[in-house]
Structure formats: C-alpha cells, structure tokens
C-alpha cells in the first residue's frame, strides 16, 4: 500500500498525502464515434479520489462529466488510460468480473431513483447482494437497518409506486450502501426532487460523509455543489478547476 | 440464499408477469391451445383407433374370412324374374378343408333372408346356417343356453340360437330358451343366446342391424328348409339369388400361418372364379392397416401440434422482445448493480419459461377436459395416455427455452450505459 502511495503521489493533485486513495485515474481518454467524426469526451484525464472525500463533479453539458461518471462507475470502459479502485485495475477485468466488482465496490444513486418496480423496499435494497457470489451473514438484517437508517423503517414492504420521490431516493441510497462500497456515485441525485426534499437528501449525504464514506456527486446545480466538500469543475473533457468549499481555496 | 437463486428468479419472473396480467395471459394462449389440442386430439385418435382395433380383433386375428359378393350387374335389368347365381361354392369349401395346408378349421355359412317372428313381433335379422364350429372359430361368447352341436347338424335338428339383440327384441321379459320362434315358414326351438358382438355400453340395439341381429341354425337344417336360392320380394319384383355359401371362415392353425392361408385362398378363388364375386377379409391385415393409419394420423397430429406450438412460441418471443425493450432501463439498473450477463439471460429465460409453462399447464387442464366432454356428448371412446400431458408440458417448457433465448440474449448484451439512458 505504501509502495502504491509513493508511486502515484506525484500525479495526485489536491490530495493530502496522509489519505488513502480509493479511485485513481491516469490518462483516461474516452472517444466516441459519431458518424465519421471521432468525439473525445475525456482527454487524458488524471485524478485521484481519496477515502472519505465528498466531491461534486460539475460542468456544462458536453464537459464530459457523464462520461467520467460512467467510467468511474465501471459501466463504461476508457479508450485509453488506467483506472484503479482500492488498488485493483478495473480496465483489464472481463465483463463478468467487472459486473461482480461493480456490485461489490460501487454504489449508484440515480436522478430517477431507478428502483425495480416489481420489488418491495427491502428487496430493492438487496438487489446488489443478489448478484454477489458470496452473501454475507445477516445481510437481511443489514438491509433492514439501512432502511431504518434512511427513515423507511415503516415501509419495508412497499413497492416503489407507493413511495414519494424522496422516499424512493432514500431507498436508492440504502441500496447503494448495502455492500459497503468503495465509492458512492450519485448522478443528479436531487434533480427530480423539490428543494425541501432535495435538501433532506443532501443532509443524508452529509451524514454519510461524516461517517467516512467516499461520495462523488455529479450535478449541474451550483447549490448542490456548494454542499459538498470539494468541487471538481470539468470542461472539454478535462479538469478546469478544483475548489475546496471548506477553505475556499481554488487550485 | 445462493441455493435458492433459481427459486428467486422464478418468483421474480412471476411477479414481473403479474405486472401485466392480461398481456401475460394472452401470450400464453398460443401455447395453451397448442397443448390442449395435442392432448385432446391424441385422446380422441387413440380412442378411435383402439375401438377399430377391438372390432377387427373381434373378427378373430387368426381367421381369414371369405365372403360372397354380388358381382356388378350385367344385361337383363328389366327381367321380371331373374336368378342371379354367384359367390362361393361348396367345392371351394371342400377344397379349402381337404387340401390346404396350415388350415385348422373351416366354417361354411349360408345366409337366408327369412323373417323371424314370435307372435306379433317380426324382425329381419341375418339368418345364418352354419355348423357347430362357428362359435368356437369366431370366439363368440355364449350368453345363455348352448350353441349348436354336432348332433344338431347330423339330425337336422329344429333348433336355433338367437343373437342377444334378437332375443331381447322377441322376448323382452322372459328367457328365450325353450321358446319357439318362426323362421321363414318353420318353427324352431331356441336353445341358446349368443352374447352381443357390439362393445359393451353401445346403444345400437336394432335387431335388424348388420352387427346386432343374428339367428343361427344348423347348416343341414337351413339347407333342407331354404335351399340355396334366396328369394326376396322387393317392391313388387322378385329377386332370386343363388348363392351356395355366403361366407367361409378359415382358421389358420397358428398365428404365423394367417398370411399363408390368406394367400392360398386368394390364389384358389382367383383360379376357380371367372367373376370377382367374392372378397377375402384378413383381420390381421386390417389390423396392420389400422396401425399404419394410426401412424399416419400421429404424424399429421404431430405436425399440427408442432405448428401450433411454433406459432405459440413465436407469439411468446414477440412479447418477450417487446418486454425486453420496455424494460431496457431495468436491465441497465441490474447491470450497474452487479448483474452479470448470465443473470440477465436467466431472468428473462425463466420468465419466458414461466409463461410457456403456465400456458402448458392450463393447456393440459383444458386438454384433459375436452376428451371428457367428447366422451359424454359424442359417445366417442377417448383414451388419455399418461405420456400425452407430460410430453405436451415438456414441449411447452422447451418452447419457452427455445423462443426465450433470443430475447434474453438481446437483453444481456445491451450496453449498460445505453440501457440506463433509455427512457
């Protein structure tokens, strides 16, 4: 671990040396083919997210933040570059290994909640466990505890249709936590919610951050960005600026 | 939890299908009707064939039946009275009995168109003059009394044996044994009743009908009373036929000799008769032909079943493809949350199998109901072999696998990024 740390220390901007890196991207390039043209959504992007970080990833549309999120979430593969999560190289994994890895190490929170309609609250929270080869002991109790943690203890057997948007998003957050992942990726998590509910969800993120979870929040809303610890501003497939909300220092 | 992975996929499949109850039900209809028609048709076909084989077997599988047939009419149609002479002869019978190898017994039958009456009741059954061996060779059951004997034959006894239907018609409330009936102009004493030739439970009890109405008397008695000329008065004109023997039942010594005996009879009759005034019936050949007919029937049935299941399968595939498109987003979510391709394949395959399996189960239910109804309304015998529902159900699940594979594969190979973006 120390060897890895010292190796990549020089490439890591804005990360204090004492904090363990969770997700390390080096020279990530992602190109799409649009007809005859090749569009470069990410251009030699290098960054390191440390354990316990709470980042907002911002940028206008076309800045590459969706592409970055897909690559961070291991549902898309870079055209070039290397990407490690908890020291494991995810670029070279085959589809099956990557699928299992996603379920284990990544928690997703989507803009439109993306719960599975035919499953109830507790079953939805357990979906990432269903696809794991090893199922931890007492996972159902854990799912129940998480449901209570996000304030849905009384609605364990409700279907998504019977829940409000905010409640659905809470289920999604509980689902993202079930396997205790390395990274929680939230894509416009408050985009479909009214400001009061959005604020409640962001409070939940604050609490998770306080518990030491690593959270990456993709958003285009400055209000949301301000709530996070740090802001990563993207433009044209690379970093435009990095801003620390606590110190107010940009770099 | 892992051990119950299939069970969980199964439960999930059911709950997904229940989200669209009507659509799921309509989708299963194709397979449902396919399976139901297979079982029903198989049951009816099996029943019909069993009945046909039973009837043929009743003729005696070791027998060859030679029958006189009126040859096509020639010439003097307008003659008021004509004597038509044709058919099997006593010489034919003697030749068969004396010279044929492998023949066990040969039974001659002379038929006379006499009326049978008792008091006011008259019927026109087949009056068969035949020796005592008839019952044994044709394996007819005795219902009451005795059949004709050798002594009856030698003494030209004035006795007769009634068929079951005739006995019931003439003596509905009492035993016919010892009673007298008038056959033509002659009184004969009833000594026995033969069991019915019709299958039990059959409703045909008309004593004049071909199968039902029969009266037997000794051949010697019949010859003495009626001779070999059969006179019938039909709509004013007399129709006189001269037939020496109407039927000769030849019994082969062993089962394997039947074909040999049949061939010898055919050859002999071909040589001795200028006209084709006879026919040779070999129950064994009929049996073989019935088996062949059944085989063809089964092939036809199999093709129809195959086509209807194919149509049902295509229907299911069509709906599953639509379902996969509709649930693209769900597939994306599952992939993001850790589902491998094989998990997605399993999910949709199980769903298709549940659909076709449910269709199959309902089809089996309806398929078993149809023969039951047919048996009660159409008086047709039906036989449901246990293999039919099992086979049909198995095939319907197989249809699910085959037609579910492509939609499942489509679902599994979707790009998760694209799938998640799908609205």
Q: What is the ipTM of this complex?
A: 0.88
CA distance, residue B340 to nearest chain A CA (Å) = 5
The closest of B219, B90, B241 to B153, measured between CA atoms, is: B219
CB contact under 8 A, A95 and B417: no
CA distance, residue B415 to nearest chain A CA (Å) = 8
Q: What are B80-120's pLDDT values in tens digits? A: 556 778 888 888 888 888 877 778 888 999 988 888 888 88
Chain A residues near residue B15 by CB distance under 8 angstroms: 118-119
In chain A, the residue whose alpha carbon lies closest to the alpha carbon of B346 is: A131
In chain B, the residue whose alpha carbon lies closest to the alpha carbon of A101 is: B338
DSSP string, B75-144: S-TT-SEEEEE-SB-HHHHHHHHHH-TTEEEEEEEEEE---EEETTEEE--EEEE--TTHHHHHTPPEEE
What local confidence, expressed as pLDDT, does residue A166 receive?
Answer: 92
**Cβ contact A81:A26 at 8 Å:** yes
Quote the crossing angle between the two packed helices B21-58 and B341-377, to the nearest 10°.
Answer: 50
Out of A99, A117, A135, closest to residue B338 by CB: A99
What local confidence, expressed as pLDDT, does residue B273 receive?
Answer: 87
What local confidence, expressed as pLDDT, does residue A6 receive?
Answer: 42
Tokens of B300: 């036809």
The C-alpha atoms of residue B131 and residue B249 are separated, in whole angstroms, by 11
Domain residue ranges in chain A: 51-74+93-250
List CB contacts of B112: < 8 A, sequence separation 6 or more.
B127, B129, B184, B222, B225, B226, B230
Residue B307: Cβ-neighbour burial (10 angstroms; 0-12, 13-18, 19+): exposed
Confidence category of residue B139, pLDDT binned at 50, 70, 90: confident
Query: Which of A118, A129, A179 to mutate to test binding with chain B, by most B CBs within 10 Å of its CB?
Result: A118
Bridge partners, A24 (sequence order):
A48, A84
**Cβ contact B195:B141 at 8 Å:** yes
**Cβ contact B105:B133 at 8 Å:** yes
CB contact under 8 A, A128 and B337: yes
CB count in 10 Å sphere of residue B2: 10
Confidence category of residue A3, pLDDT binned at 50, 70, 90: very low
Chain A residues near residue B8 by CB distance under 8 angstroms: 130
What local confidence, expressed as pLDDT, does residue B411 receive?
Answer: 93
Q: Long-range CB contacts (< 8 A, 24+ apart) of B284-293?
A: B284/B61, B284/B62, B284/B258, B284/B259, B285/B259, B286/B56, B286/B59, B287/B53, B287/B56, B287/B57, B287/B61, B290/B49, B290/B52, B290/B53, B290/B56, B291/B53, B293/B49
Chain B residues near residue A119 by CB distance under 8 angstroms: 12, 15
Q: Does domain A51-74+93-250 have CATH number 3.40.50.300?
A: yes
Interior angle at CA B226, CA B221 and CA B227, nearest 5: 95
The C-alpha atoms of residue B113 and residue B215 are separated, in whole angstroms, by 11
Q: In what order do the strands lie in the sheet with A215-218?
A: A106-109, A183-187, A215-218, A54-58, A230-235, A238-244, A249-250
The C-alpha atoms of residue B55 and residue B57 are separated, in whole angstroms, by 5
CA distance, residue B413 to nearest chain A CA (Å) = 11
The C-alpha atoms of residue B25 and residue A34 are separated, in whole angstroms, by 43
CA distances in angstroms from B261 to A9, B96, B102, B279, B287, listed in the order given: 105, 9, 7, 14, 17
**Cβ contact B97:B235 at 8 Å:** no
Chain A residues near residue B342 by CB distance under 8 angstroms: 96
What local confidence, expressed as pLDDT, does residue A18 receive?
Answer: 59
CA distance, residue A229 to nearest chain B CA (Å) = 26
Q: Which residue has the tokens 């639509």?
A: B322
Mean pLDDT score across all residues of chain A: 88
What local confidence, expressed as pLDDT, does residue B317 receive?
Answer: 92
Residue B79: Cβ-neighbour burial (10 angstroms; 0-12, 13-18, 19+): exposed
The C-alpha R_g of chain B, in whole angstroms, comes to 34
The C-alpha atoms of residue B246 and residue B89 are separated, in whole angstroms, by 9
The C-alpha atoms of residue A142 and residue A144 are separated, in whole angstroms, by 5
The C-alpha atoms of residue B176 and residue B145 are separated, in whole angstroms, by 9
CA distances in angstroms from B339 to B7, B333, B343, listed in the order given: 17, 9, 6
CB contact under 8 A, B339 and A99: yes
Interface of B with A (CB under 8 A): 1-2, 8, 12, 15-16, 18-19, 329-330, 333-343, 416-417, 420
Q: In what order do the strands lie in the sheet with B81-85?
A: B81-85, B237-242, B229-234
What local confidence, expressed as pLDDT, does residue B385 receive?
Answer: 86
Chain B residues near residue A175 by CB distance under 8 angstroms: 337
What local confidence, expressed as pLDDT, does residue B201 receive?
Answer: 44
How many distinct helices (H) and strands (E) make up chain B?
13, 15
Interface of A with B (CB under 8 A): 70, 73, 75-76, 95-96, 99-100, 102-104, 106, 108, 110, 114, 116-119, 127-133, 135, 139, 175
Three-state SS for A98? Answer: helix
Mean pLDDT score across all residues of chain B: 85
What local confidence, expressed as pLDDT, does residue A51 receive?
Answer: 92
Confidence category of residue B146, pLDDT binned at 50, 70, 90: very high
Of the listed ranges A10-14, A202-206, B97-101, B383-387, the one predicted with least confidence: A10-14
Tokens of A79: 């055209």
Tell me the residue ranges of DSSP E strands in B270-350.
278-281
H helices of B196-237, in order, are 219-226
CB contact under 8 A, A99 and B341: yes
What local confidence, expressed as pLDDT, does residue B309 receive?
Answer: 82
In chain A, the residue whose alpha carbon lies closest to the alpha carbon of B1 is: A135
What local confidence, expressed as pLDDT, does residue B215 receive?
Answer: 92
User: What is the rounded (10 degree) CA torsion for B416, B418, B421, B423?
Assistant: -110
CA distances in angstroms from B27 to B23, B33, B362, listed in the order given: 6, 11, 12
The C-alpha atoms of residue B315 and residue B23 are separated, in whole angstroms, by 11
Please list the helix, strand and coil fractions of chain A in percent, rounded to the nearest 5, in that order.
Answer: 35, 25, 35
CB contact under 8 A, B417 and A75: yes
Chain B residues near residue A108 by CB distance under 8 angstroms: 336-337
Of the listed ranges A1-10, B33-42, B317-326, B350-359, the one predicted with least confidence: A1-10
CB contact under 8 A, A96 and B12: no
Q: Compute the count of residue pairs across chains A and B with CB atoms less than 8 Å apart.
A: 69
Of the listed ranges A129-143, B11-25, B233-247, B253-267, the one predicted with least confidence: B233-247
In chain B, the residue whose alpha carbon lies closest to the alpha carbon of A123 is: B12
The C-alpha atoms of residue A90 and residue B392 are separated, in whole angstroms, by 48
Q: Average pLDDT for residues B32-49, to the nearest whole number? A: 86
What local confidence, expressed as pLDDT, does residue B210 receive?
Answer: 47
Of the listed ranges B168-177, B315-324, B330-339, the one predicted with least confidence: B168-177
Is the model's pLDDT at A102 over the cut of 80? Answer: yes
The C-alpha atoms of residue A115 and residue B85 are separated, in whole angstroms, by 94
List CB contacts of B290: < 8 A, sequence separation 6 or more.
B49, B52, B53, B56
Query: Which of B5, B21, B338 to mutate to test binding with chain A, by most A CBs within 10 Å of its CB?
Result: B338
């Amino acid at each position: 671990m120390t060897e890895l740390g010292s190796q990549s220390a020089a490439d890591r901007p804005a990360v204090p040396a004492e904090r363990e890196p969770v997700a390390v991207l080096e020279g990530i390039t992602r190109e799409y083919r649009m007809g005859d043209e090749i569009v470069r959504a990410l251009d030699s992007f290098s960054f390191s997210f440390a354990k316990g970080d709470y980042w907002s990833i911002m940028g206008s549309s076309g800045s590459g933040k969706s592409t970055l999120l897909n690559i961070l979430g291991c549902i898309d593969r870079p055209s070039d570059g290397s990407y490690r999560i908890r020291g494991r190289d995810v670029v070279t994994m085959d589809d099956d290994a990557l699928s299992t890895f996603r379920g284990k190490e990544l928690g997703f929170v989507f803009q439109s909640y993306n719960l599975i309609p035919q499953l109830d609250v507790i079953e939805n929270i357990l979906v990432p466990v269903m696809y794991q080869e090893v199922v931890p002991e007492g996972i159902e109790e854990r799912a129940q505890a998480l449901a209570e943690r996000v304030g849905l203890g009384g609605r364990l057997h409700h279907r998504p249709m019977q829940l409000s948007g905010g409640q659905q998003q809470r289920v999604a957050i509980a689902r993202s936590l079930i396997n205790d992942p390395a990274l929680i990726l939230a894509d416009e998590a408050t985009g479909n919610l009214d400001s009061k509910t959005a604020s409640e969800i962001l409070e939940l993120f604050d609490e998770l951050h306080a518990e030491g979870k690593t959270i990456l929040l993709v958003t285009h809303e400055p209000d949301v960005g301000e709530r996070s610890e740090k802001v990563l501003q993207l433009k044209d497939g690379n970093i435009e600026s990095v801003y620390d909300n606590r110190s107010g220092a940009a770099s | 939890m892992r051990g119950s992975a299939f069970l969980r996929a199964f439960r999930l499949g059911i709950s997904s299908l229940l989200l669209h109850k009507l659509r799921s039900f309509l989708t299963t209809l194709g397979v449902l009707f396919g399976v139901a028609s297979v079982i029903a048709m198989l049951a009816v076909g099996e029943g019909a064939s069993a009945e046909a084989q039973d009837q043929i077997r009743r003729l005696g599988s070791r027998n060859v039946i030679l029958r006189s047939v009126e040859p096509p009419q020639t010439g003097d149609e307008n003659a008021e009275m004509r004597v038509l002479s044709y058919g099997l002869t006593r010489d034919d019978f003697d030749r068969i009995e004396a010279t044929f190898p492998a023949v066990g017994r040969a039974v001659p039958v002379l038929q006379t168109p006499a009326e049978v009456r008792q008091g006011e009741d008259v019927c026109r059954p087949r009056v068969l003059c035949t020796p005592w061996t008839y019952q044994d060779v044709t394996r007819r059951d005795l219902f009451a009394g005795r059949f004709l004997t050798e002594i009856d034959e030698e003494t030209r006894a004035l006795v007769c044996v009634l068929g079951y239907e005739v006995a019931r018609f003439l003596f509905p409330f009492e035993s016919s044994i010892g009673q007298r009936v008038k056959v033509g102009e002659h009184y004969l004493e009833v000594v026995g009743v033969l069991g019915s030739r019709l299958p039990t439970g059959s409703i045909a009890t008309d004593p004049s009908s071909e199968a039902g109405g029969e009266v037997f008397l000794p051949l010697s008695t019949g010859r003495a009373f009626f001779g070999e000329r059969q006179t019938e008065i039909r709509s004013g004109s007399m129709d006189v036929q001269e037939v020496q023997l109407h039927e000769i039942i030849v019994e082969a010594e062993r089962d394997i000799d039947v074909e040999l005996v049949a061939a010898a009879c055919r050859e002999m009759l071909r040589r001795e008769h200028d006209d084709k005034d006879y026919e040779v019936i070999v129950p064994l050949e009929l049996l073989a032909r019935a088996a062949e007919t059944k085989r063809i029937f089964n092939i036809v049935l199999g093709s129809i079943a195959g086509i209807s299941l194919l149509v049902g399968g295509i229907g299911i595939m069509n709906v599953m493809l639509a379902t996969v498109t509709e649930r693209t987003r769900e597939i994306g979510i599952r992939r993001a949350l850790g589902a491998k391709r094989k998990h997605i394949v399993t999910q949709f395959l199980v769903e298709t199998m549940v659909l076709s399996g449910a269709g199959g189960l309902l089809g089996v239910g309806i398929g078993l109901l149809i023969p039951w109804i047919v048996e009660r309304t159409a008086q047709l015998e039906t036989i449901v072999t246990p293999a039919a529902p099992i086979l049909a159900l198995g095939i319907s699940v197989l249809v699910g696998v085959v037609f579910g594979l492509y939609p499942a594969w489509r679902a599994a190979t979707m790009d998760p990024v694209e799938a998640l973006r799908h609205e």
